[in-house]
Amino acid sequence: MKTLTHTIRFPFQAVVATLLLLSMTSCNWEPRQKLIGRWYSSDVSIRFREDGSVYFNSPAGLGVGRFHFDETVRSASTQDHTPNLVLDLIRKQNRIQLRFNVQIMSPERIRLTEILPPAPGQSTAEPVIGRLKLLKRAHDQSSSRPSNLAAIPQTH
């Protein structure tokens, strides 16, 4: 005969097992998958899309293009400045390529270190380090929501 305790315990165990499975699979996302979404700081916004496209907005203007993230380059420390993220962009009708070392600090933060091309006559053995940016993940509202409604205040 089933008791009330047995009836409650089985659904509870199923819920716990499901949550445990989901948490384990989300922690095992590939590094590239962890980049997908919008990231921002006070002057930069980057949106990485699953199809490999990227939108890079900065004071220099909006750049649209493709990104390549090399998951084999692991940043062992903050001193490692090997580029592992390349953005091929069109900005103001010009093709540009930006190189970064990206470190995934947490699910909510990434650190971008810009790797600049060497100046003419400079050795290419030592990378030229540009600006360091800490970016925060944006938790945008549903993408199915029309963009023209985003500015309308919500009433409760």
The burial of 41, by beta-carbon neighbours within 10 Å (0-12 exposed, 13-18 middle, 19 or more buried), is given as: middle
The amino acid sitting at 48 is F
Summarised one tens digit per residue, pLDDT across range 13-39 is 666 555 555 444 445 557 778 899 999
Residue 2 domain-assigned (yes or no): no
* pLDDT of res. 59: 92
pLDDT of residue 85 exceeding 60, the answer is yes
Summarised one tens digit per residue, pLDDT across range 87-118 is 999 999 999 999 999 988 999 999 998 988 77
Residue 152 domain-assigned (yes or no): no
The two three-digit tokens of residue 25, written as one number:
């699979």
Which CATH number belongs to the domain containing residue 51 in this structure? 2.40.128
Residue 108 domain-assigned (yes or no): yes
- How far apart CA 39 and CA 2 sit, in angstroms, is 52
* pLDDT of res. 74: 61
Residue 68 domain-assigned (yes or no): yes
Residue 72 domain-assigned (yes or no): yes
The amino acid sitting at 58 is S
* pLDDT of res. 148: 37
Residue 42 domain-assigned (yes or no): yes
Residue 128 domain-assigned (yes or no): yes
Domain count, the chain: 1
